[in-house]
Structure 1
Amino acid sequence: MNIVICHTQIPFVRGGAEVLVDGLLAALREAGHGVELVTIPFKWYPREQLEAQALVWRSLDVSRLNGRAVDMVICTKYPSWAVRHPHKVIWLVHQHRQAYDWYGTPLTDFGISEEDRRARRVILETDALGLGEADRIYTISQNVANRLNRFTGLTGHSLYPPTHHDRYHHTNYGDYIFTISRLDSAKRVHFLLEALRKTRSEVRAVIAGSGPEEAALKARAVALGLQDRVEFTGRISDDEAVRLYAGALAVYYAPVDEDYGYVTVEAMRSCKPVLTLPDTGGVLEFVREAQNGFICPDPAGLAQRMDELYQDSGRELAARLGQAGLSTSRSVPGWAEVVRVLTGTALPV
């Protein structure tokens, strides 16, 4: 088939959505499909840009391109699903969360001005139109499917995205807790610092990534007297991430109501216990309390679990949880199965 992937791109930012699109492109080509990626840079400010960009996508009719029929389109993020095509499939990474579950919380950038209310209405109307036209809707997790249904009444089928490579492995259970993410408030890396301050052992933390909270997190580590026990690596390569996963004692990952979270699966593929919080959304589709990780109620509880793992000199607890996590990670389909589902040649997994 001739397939077009429609994706919204934020220039100079590479996250899980871009990893997903790269993997999907490669997998569709491997399966013998003709596939092209269409992206439009996403700008959410000033507010009128949200409507303008929805109109740009809506102006695109991609049923035929360069004289060739396009058999289907696969759309990922707002407002790419406004594109016009008779056979539209959605693999929903997430909706524009500032207008949905984050609305009315400190995580949104929408206020109560008339301009903001209008922009939010545009988003809701664009989603109702574009998502409502889809032949099929898949979501990257059950959490995203639940959110979609709660706010739009539409049904999505969970289809987990595979990791973007298979190099994850285990070497040893070292003396550090590893975390990797964009450093913003929604990722709650500050909880790891607060927990580390409460530990009784000499367990360390290695924090990879960059973002708007990086300077504040570094300052907080110093204020807590943790400068000798916390390493901030900045952005790292895939090879370095694999190495740090492989030698970690455990992995901390606790974003607010996460959509999916590659980090959870990557940690489990590396045989590492995952430390998280009770409200992390998609992360909890994988983490089982005291089976393949720990769901900690607060920084004090997190500190206790880190001490337990560190003080077990034989690392038997970490190994038991890590092996269970490896088994859990096998519930994520491979790319060949994802392609069969999205192209309609297999039932949803």
Structure 2
Amino acid sequence: MTGLKIGIIKPDYGVTGGFELHVNALVAGLASRGHSVSLVGVDATVRPPSVYGYPVTPVLREWHDEYFRYLELAERTQQLDLQGFDVVCATQPPTYLANHNRLFALTYHHYRVFYDLADEFVAAGFVDADAHAHATAAVRQIDSDALPRVRSFLAGSDTVAERLRRYWNVGSIGYRHPNVTDLPPASDRDPASSEILCVSRQEWPKRTELFVAAMHLTAAQRSGNRPIGHLVGGGSRANFVASLDAELSAKPNELQRIQGDESGEIWRNMGIFSKGWRPFDGPPSGRIHFHGRVSDEKRNDLYAAAAVVVAPALDEDYGLTVLEAWQQQRPVIVCSDGGGLTELVQHGENGLIAEPTPFAIAQAIDRLCNNPELAASLVAAGTESLASIRWSEALDTFEAVALTTAGRRSDNYADARLSAPHQSPALPAELEAYATGGFYSVEGWLSPASAHSIQRLSEAQMIGGGVAEIGVHHGRLFILLALLCARDEVAVGFDLFERQDENVDGSGRGDREQLDRNLLEAGVPEETVVLVAQNSMDLQPADVLELARGRVRLFSVDGGHTAEITMNDLWIADRVLTHDGVLILDDAFNTMWPGVGEGMHNYLRHPQCELIPFGIVANKTFFTKSEAAADRYRSVLASHPYENHLIREDELLGSPMLCSQFAPGH
């Protein structure tokens, strides 16, 4: 296979952190597999005097500097010439605004102050609440308009995947990479050590303030030594954090006041930029050594001397500090609201999870310092956890999505680790009763063979998501789709229902009252179903994504049977399907409805079409979004034929097809 020319876009802030190290390792790994990979930088260090032709005055920047930084990066991203690449990978925001027709995103965060940290940003005093509301709405609209061009999202953690679903209604593919920091082999841990290490940039909301306050609350060890903290890393809050240490040393009553839930005030602020702030006039406590930025050698020495590693950050995108601690075979403490940090740590098994207060963190430190057996067991389990995260799998996942986005076949996609794996149906008994004969009581068009095949395809799916149908009628197929839903999945149905004057071809007559009765009799919970009376010609993919709470894994198209309506409905389904989603088209080869076949053929030849046909069972034609998924589903249909059905292989517009038809006596 000829390698791809891959462009990876990344804002350049002039610093090298964990993400930069990860991207460098990713580039090297892809190059070793024969791909030509180029980093495309977007300069984020220079602030231009204008954006999109409009002058940006100091007054405007003071109104909302982050908003104008976002616009500057957006404009520079859109000006990039990327046409020399087969495929382009966006990374940090807003590089997903890039102009390329084969674009996917490796996502670790949104522009967070406009999304998950929006409220915290205001609470810390960085910006006026009204100004931030207006800026947030504008940024989200710009992002929303760009999202349809992004073909796939890789999510760096479950935390990131959940944000993608919550804010953008998109599904994602899980991507996990091992530690990328160049660390030496782990040294033996000294059980009597009293050195406590925190390695972190000192920026909001890394919350190194919690670590400093916790070190003032730790008790004496069994050895009689008091734990000593070591804070490694620079940043704009370094002076503020050092001043906090001196203030807490001089004001023990203040320490008592903020040791619990009130501790938020020590980090939920603008640091040295807070109105009226002055550094505390007093000596440091001596309980924490502030190292600032250090050489690799010094950092390695501090890891070697450490008894415990603390990572107090808020809602991290991933957990590089945890990976480093595991690699250095040191027990690690994270906070319960640590996001990606908390995903990696199982409390009491491979680390400790503490509430985000100085007192709770101090208790966890004391527990590990005074219980060497517990610390050793956490280290052993952490080492095993680290070994389960492999570069080969990360490269397989990235390469598979790159190849698929570029229109190439990928054999690795089936093995990609998925952030939203498909789960078992929530109501197996009701599903079994309906699928084995209950559907005969519902008027509609669904053969036993088609029902059987749809079940098997659902079981073979790797990515979770909602289910949907255009043209519900009385619910014969829709009820089956709804019963295939796992917990937290939603079934969305669209039909004209009482608006029959818009039924231009008379291809079905939906009855909402009858549908409701049928759903009730089949045992479908009301809260899992969303029914909308709407003409699909007025429907937009964004509407489906919102109602389904994300992408759709099973989508039935059985609405109007004209060529125009069929093309429209296929386009909607194509835009909202998960990467291994299945589209079910009714009557594509029905002699009484030639418009469906015409619309299908027209859409399959359309340049925006991403659908791949893979099978026909009775009156249902099946499509998916990737060659790997199509191969998998053909195997499913071939290995699970319905009784008295003939199986044969053929092609449709160059795509291999598995065809099944009732053949008495076969």
Does structure 1 conserve the Cα–Cα contact (< 8 Å) formed by 2:189 and 2:329? no
Closer/same/farther in 2, CA of residues 122 and 162 from structure 1, 3 Å limit: farther
**Aligned with 1:50 (options 44, 63, 70):** 70
For 1:95 and 1:338, how far apart are their aligned partners in 2? Answer: 21
For 2:215 and 2:69, how far apart are their aligned partners in 1? Answer: 42
Alignment of 1:13-28 (within 5 A): 13-28=15-30
Give the equivalent residue in structure 2 for 1:177. 196
**Aligned with 2:245 (options 195, 200, 221):** 221
For 1:108 and 1:128, how far apart are their aligned partners in 2? Answer: 27
* Pairing 1:308–2:327 present: no
Letter of the structure 2 residue corresponding to residue 74 of structure 1: C
Letter of the structure 2 residue corresponding to residue 238 of structure 1: D
- SS of residue matched to 1:343: helix
- SS of residue matched to 2:108: strand
For 1:343 and 1:126, how far apart are their aligned partners in 2? Answer: 28
Give the equivalent residue in structure 1 for 2:100. 85
Deviates more, 1:262-271 or 1:23-32: 23-32
Letter of the structure 1 residue corresponding to residue 319 of structure 2: G
For 2:28 and 2:142, how far apart are their aligned partners in 1? Answer: 29
Give the equivalent residue in structure 1 for 2:288. 230
Cα distance, 1:205 vs. partner? 0.8
Give the equivalent residue in structure 2 for 1:98. 113
Does structure 2 conserve the Cα–Cα contact (< 8 Å) formed by 1:79 and 1:126? no
Letter of the structure 2 residue corresponding to residue 233 of structure 1: H
Closer/same/farther in 2, CA of residues 30 and 94 from structure 1, 3 Å limit: same
Cα distance, 1:3 vs. partner? 0.8
Does structure 2 conserve the Cα–Cα contact (< 8 Å) formed by 1:76 and 1:92? yes
Give the equivalent residue in structure 1 for 2:83. 63
Identical counterparts, % of pairs: 26
Give the equivalent residue in structure 1 for 2:610. none
Deviations 1:4-23 (A, max 9, x none): 11111223x33222122222
Closer/same/farther in 2, CA of residues 108 and 3 from structure 1, 3 Å limit: farther
**Aligned with 2:41 (options 31, 39, 42):** 39
Deviations 1:289-328 (A, max 9, x none): 111221112322222222222234xx32211111111111
For 1:104 and 1:305, how far apart are their aligned partners in 2? Answer: 29
**Aligned with 1:330 (options 374, 387, 395):** 387
TM norm structure 2? 0.48
For 2:199 and 2:188, how far apart are their aligned partners in 1? Answer: 18
- SS of residue matched to 2:117: coil
Closer/same/farther in 2, CA of residues 49 and 211 from structure 1, 3 Å limit: closer
* Pairing 1:156–2:172 present: yes
Deviates more, 1:105-114 or 1:257-266: 105-114
Give the equivalent residue in structure 1 for 2:395. 339
Number of aligned residue pairs = 339
Letter of the structure 1 residue corresponding to residue 365 of structure 2: M
Deviations 1:218-276 (A, max 9, x none): 12222333632211111123333233223311110021111112111111111111112
TM superposition outliers: structure 1 runs of 4+ over 3 Å: 43-49, 107-114, 116-119, 165-168
For 2:32 and 2:188, how far apart are their aligned partners in 1? Answer: 31
Deviations 1:110-153 (A, max 9, x none): 53455x55543342233224443222210111101101110110
Closer/same/farther in 2, CA of residues 320 and 76 from structure 1, 3 Å limit: same
Cα distance, 1:108 vs. partner? 7.8
**Aligned with 1:211 (options 235, 240, 251):** 235
Does structure 1 conserve the Cα–Cα contact (< 8 Å) formed by 2:216 and 2:287? no
Aligned CA-pair RMSD: 2.2
Letter of the structure 1 residue corresponding to residue 393 of structure 2: E
- SS of residue matched to 1:36: strand
For 1:304 and 1:124, how far apart are their aligned partners in 2? Answer: 41
Q: Can you give the 5+ residue segments of structure 2 that lack an aligned partner in the other structure?
A: 48-60, 221-225, 250-283, 401-409, 418-666
Letter of the structure 2 residue corresponding to residue 54 of structure 1: A
Give the equivalent residue in structure 2 for 1:134. 150
Pick 1 or 2: higher relative contact order, CA cutoff 8 A, min separation 6: 1
Letter of the structure 1 residue corresponding to residue 112 of structure 2: R
Cα distance, 1:85 vs. partner? 1.6
Does structure 1 conserve the Cα–Cα contact (< 8 Å) formed by 2:88 and 2:100? yes
For 2:334 and 2:320, how far apart are their aligned partners in 1? Answer: 14
Closer/same/farther in 2, CA of residues 33 and 328 from structure 1, 3 Å limit: same
For 1:319 and 1:7, how far apart are their aligned partners in 2? Answer: 39
Letter of the structure 1 residue corresponding to residue 186 of structure 2: H
For 1:117 and 1:300, how far apart are their aligned partners in 2? Answer: 35
Deviates more, 1:192-201 or 1:32-41: 192-201
Letter of the structure 2 residue corresponding to residue 188 of structure 1: R
For 1:26 and 1:328, how far apart are their aligned partners in 2? Answer: 24
* Pairing 1:195–2:214 present: yes
